[in-house]
Amino acid sequence: MVACSPSEKVERASKPQKPANKDFADLSEKEQIKFKFLFHNANKERILGNYQLAANLFKQCTEIAPKEATAFYELAHILENSKENDLALQYAEKAVELDPKNYWYRVLYAHTLQRKGKSDAAIKQYETLIKSNPGNVDLYFDLAGIQLYSGKYKESIETFNQIEKQMGITEEISVQKEKIYIKLGDVDKAAYEIQMLINEFPNELKYQVLLADLYLANDLTEKAFTVYQEILKKDPQNPYANLSLYDYYKIKNENEKASNSLKKAFASTDLDIDTKMKILLSYYSTTDSQLKKEALELNKILIKAHPKDAKAYTIYADFLYQDKKLEGAKENYLKALEFDNSKLPIWNQLVFIESELQDLEGLLRDSKAAIELFPNQPLFYFFYGATNLQNKNYTEAVEYLTLGKDYVIGNPPLLAQFYASLGDAHNSLKQYEQSDNAYEEALKIEAKNIYVLNNYAYYLSLREDKLDRAEELSALCNELEPDQPNYQDTYAWILYKQGKFIQAKEWLEKALENGASSNAVILEHLGDTHAKLNNIIKALEYWNKAKAINNGQGTEFLDKKIADKKLYE
């Protein structure tokens, strides 16, 4: 028995061989004692949450005393909660049959009928309950709800009218009746319901706004306008009326009046900021310059109305960023964080903007602050580490890049950036083995990462280490992005280090053809290559050109090469 599910157990016993249909008083003393024992234990198991066991015990009670309604009711209740709707309905119906005057039995029966989609039968049960409990408003609400659900709109309205007789006019009922009349296509009666609400609560201007909105939604624009004007006579700054007038004027193509109404609504602190932000978002994708200007004005009004709400500064920053006004966007994101620093997207956007602006001081400050707030977010470790790398704080860069890469999940490009930056940082610290390993890890993720291919190859050439690997990397780099003079220079320099001077000269000349004629480093490299080929005149020509580009201030090695020219003659 323990292995059976509640449904399986009850279904097997749903048509048991019942004893004689006796009243409880007619049961033997032994049967009465057994019933009470089982019923007590069933209740105990139900309270403990052991519903399968409780259902089995209540089922045994129904077999001992098939005219005791309580056991059937309790069993139906458990089955309804476990969504065994067929069996729940069966036992609930039996409980009502045995005790038709019991309020709770019939309520459960109505619920189970409703769950089974037997709306008409459920409605009859609620009507029966109301006859015997005419003052129970909850029953009327249940009846109105199921009538509405089953499409009996007129009957539902009549039930709501009965509720109104007991409770008086309320917003909940009036608005519900208005919606039903709209479904029925009867705008006049819908308006009448709201008018009755206005009459009952004349100082609640929101009901007048509701009436005007109803008219506006049904193309009765002049009636809507009349009501809006009445509202504004009483409250010129009423945000709801002004907001609705905005829609009214838009329909009439009176854009200036629409804009003025909207600005008044935005200036009011009675209109919540979320509603205002939804309106602002409707401007976000516009390309119309006038609408963009209007959106920025509304943003400023929003901040003035809600000066301590982070949302106001955030959405203004979003608009400024979209308009490429990066400094203004940064300023407003920072302001938003003063009031609420818990929003991860704001921190993300801020550091990206600071990166675009090359605001290294801001990047260091804000990425470090973000790490403290969101210690498992790799992006902030990357920005903090990369900025320290740029500032030549190599040890700090290595520390944070190493920590941050372990938080990267499902973002291979970001992980490759971590390893690329670690390669640069370790190289600067002359930790060449770690640097090479980091570059290799980056290339495992992105085998065609131009930045890594070029830097890794160049650093290997400077160390004159693994030159075959350097040549392979640089060749791929030039294949992926041909005619790029810096990459051609790197490849030429690797060939130079390998003693392949003729090939090196050819690649350096390609670099010059591709716009490197004013690059002092490439000119010096070409001079070095000509010197190795014993072409001293050409070597001097390119060395002197390199020195001239640096305003006559050549490097120590360049000056020495020129001074020692006689050594090559």
Q: What is the 3-state secondary structure (H, E, C) of 60-95?
A: HHHHHCCCCHHHHHHHHHHHHHCCCHHHHHHHHHHH
User: Along the 569 residues of the chain, how does pLDDT read in single tens digits?
Assistant: 333 333 333 433 333 333 335 577 778 889 889 999 999 999 999 999 999 999 999 999 999 999 999 999 999 999 988 888 899 999 999 999 999 999 999 999 999 999 888 999 999 999 999 999 998 999 999 999 999 999 999 999 999 999 999 999 999 999 999 999 999 999 999 999 999 999 999 888 889 989 988 988 898 988 988 888 888 888 888 898 898 889 888 888 998 999 999 999 999 998 999 999 999 999 988 888 898 999 999 999 999 999 999 999 999 999 999 999 999 999 999 999 999 999 999 999 999 999 999 999 999 999 999 999 999 999 999 999 999 999 999 999 999 999 999 999 999 999 999 999 999 999 999 999 999 999 999 999 999 999 999 999 999 999 999 999 999 999 999 999 999 999 999 999 999 999 999 999 999 999 999 998 889 999 999 999 999 999 998 999 999 898 888 765 556 678 788 777 644 44
> Do residues 215 and 221 touch, judged by C-beta distance below 8 A?
yes
Distance CA 255, CA 247 (A): 10
SS3 220: coil
* Stated pTM of the model: 0.68
Helices 289-305 and 255-267 pack at an angle, to 10 degrees, of 20
> Do residues 230 and 207 touch, judged by C-beta distance below 8 A?
no
CB-based burial, 288-324: b 16+ in 10 Å, e otherwise: eeeebebbbebbebbbebbeebbbbbbbbbbbbbeee
Helices 153-167 and 137-149 pack at an angle, to 10 degrees, of 160
**pLDDT attached to residue 1:** 30
**pLDDT attached to residue 252:** 86
The arrangement of secondary structure in 1-116, i.e. its CATH architecture, is: Alpha Horseshoe (1.25)
**pLDDT attached to residue 10:** 40
Alpha helical stretches, state H, 391-511 = 394-405, 412-428, 432-445, 450-463, 467-480, 485-497, 501-511
Taking the CA atoms of 499, 500, 506 and 508 in sequence, report the sign of the dihedral they define: negative
> Do residues 200 and 169 touch, judged by C-beta distance below 8 A?
yes
Q: Which long-range contacts (CB under 8 A, 24 or more apart) does 507-516 make?
A: 510/483, 510/485, 511/485, 511/486, 512/485, 514/483, 514/484, 514/485, 514/488, 515/485, 516/485, 516/486, 516/488, 516/489
Distance CA 28, CA 297 (A): 87
Distance CA 325, CA 316 (A): 11
Token pair 């190493």 is found at 402
Domain positions in the chain are 1-116
**pLDDT attached to residue 551:** 66
Distance CA 343, CA 298 (A): 23
**pLDDT attached to residue 554:** 54
